[in-house]
């Protein structure tokens, strides 16, 4: 049905719902006869519209929704779902949101400006909640650095047991602007820990990759913990033990030595790289990578779509499993590549290489 024109609905009923169409026509005739007797000047089209309106009813839904939920949802769109603040001003989003805003009333409004103000306030509350959850608890840290588009981000997670279950909290995603030395990473991590009032003696272990800077960072932080233990022993003060959920942290107790755990996945990746370091394999990978680059040129994109085949993936040396995924994707488009090679030897890849 287009606009408010009833004729479209009538045609639809006639073609696909013959019984309903007959019923509508019968009631339409009755309605027209009554209107003709009462007011002969009334047109048939208006009668048709009124009759069909009985079959097409607008329904209003009652939804229980508080303004706090609306605001939290908008904050989640930006911070969790990665939407831009501009989305809050999109006409389509406003059509969904405005009826809710109007129903809440009391000068309530949602726009990009007030959500920008609410995000820092929400962040402070979350930090406070996490700080309370981690207070005087034994924790393990998981730390990694990711670099994308010339920006390096330090990710810090805290893992602990609460109520017999493992819980994971993201403490921070901090941009690194200096060289990634062990001392610099240590300083950045300590700033984040301070934000959550975490004593470094609460840390039982730290999981990192096998990078020399990460190993240095763990050793530096471990030395700092050992120094604090010596100071505590010299002061010989009394404190109370704290027990909760079977996990305790006693200020008179220390693990003495921080445990540095190497990421198992990264260790396996390094082992695999070492095992395949030979001239023949490197030449094979180089040839495969070269073919993938040729197959990924823009002019071939439509041809891949025509044969319903995905373009092969180009690997990245620092991405785990990416070389395997590249070879697998190249094998999946073997037929397409072979057909191109019949006209252009640049796309030739020996069948024995696919084996």
pLDDT in tens, 35-89: 444 444 444 555 555 565 655 566 677 778 888 999 999 999 999 999 999 999 9
Contact indicator for 46, 28 with CB cutoff of 8 Å = no
pLDDT digits (tens, 9 = 90+) for 188-211: 999 999 999 999 999 999 999 999
More confident residue, 115 or 239: 115
pLDDT of 236 > 50? The answer is yes
pTM, full prediction: 0.64
Long-range (24+ apart) CB contacts under 8 A made by 8-11 are: 9/52, 9/55, 9/56, 10/48, 10/52
pLDDT digits (tens, 9 = 90+) for 274-309: 888 888 888 888 888 998 998 898 988 888 888 888
Widest CA span of the chain, in angstroms? 109
Return d(Cα 80, Cα 262) in angstroms, integer.
Answer: 29
pLDDT at 54: 58
Report the share of the chain in percent with pLDDT over 70: 73
Return d(Cα 174, Cα 187) in angstroms, integer.
Answer: 12
pLDDT at 64: 80
Q: Of 185, 179, 254, 191, which is closest to residue 218 (Cα–Cα)?
A: 185
């Amino acid at each position: 049905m287009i606009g408010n024109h009833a004729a479209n609905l009538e045609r639809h009923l006639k073609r696909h719902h013959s019984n309903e169409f007959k019923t509508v026509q019968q009631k339409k005739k009755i309605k027209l006869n009554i209107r003709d007797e009462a007011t002969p000047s009334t047109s048939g089209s208006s009668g048709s519209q009124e009759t069909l309106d009985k079959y097409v009813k607008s329904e209003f839904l009652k939804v229980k929704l508080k303004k706090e939920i609306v605001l939290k949802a908008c904050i989640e769109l930006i911070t969790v779902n990665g939407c831009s603040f501009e989305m809050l001003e999109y006409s389509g989003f406003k059509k969904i949101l405005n009826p809710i805003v109007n129903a809440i009333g009391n000068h309530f409004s949602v726009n990009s400006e007030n959500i920008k103000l609410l995000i820092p306030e929400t962040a402070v509350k979350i930090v406070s909640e996490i700080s309370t959850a981690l207070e005087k608890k034994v924790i393990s840290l998981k730390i990694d650095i990711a670099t994308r588009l010339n920006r390096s981000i330090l990710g810090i997670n805290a893992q602990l047991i609460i109520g017999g279950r493992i819980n994971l909290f993201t403490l921070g995603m901090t941009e690194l602007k200096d060289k990634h030395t062990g001392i610099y990473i240590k300083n950045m991590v300590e700033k984040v820990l301070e934000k959550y009032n975490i004593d470094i003696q609460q840390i039982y272990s730290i999981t990192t990759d096998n990078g020399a800077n990460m190993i240095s960072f763990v050793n530096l932080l471990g030395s700092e913990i050992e120094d604090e233990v010596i100071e505590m022993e010299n002061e010989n003060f009394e404190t109370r033990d704290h027990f909760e959920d079977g996990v305790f942290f006693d200020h008179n107790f220390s693990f003495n030595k921080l445990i540095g755990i190497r990421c198992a996945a990264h260790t396996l990746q390094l082992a695999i790289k070492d095992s395949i370091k030979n001239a023949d394999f490197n030449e094979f990978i180089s040839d495969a990578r070269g073919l993938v680059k040729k197959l990924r040129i823009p002019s071939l994109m439509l041809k891949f779509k025509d044969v319903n085949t995905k373009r092969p993936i180009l690997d990245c040396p620092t991405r785990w499993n990416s070389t395997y995924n590249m070879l697998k994707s190249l094998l999946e488009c073997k037929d397409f590549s072979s057909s191109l090679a019949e006209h252009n030897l640049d796309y030739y890849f020996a069948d024995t290489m696919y084996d």
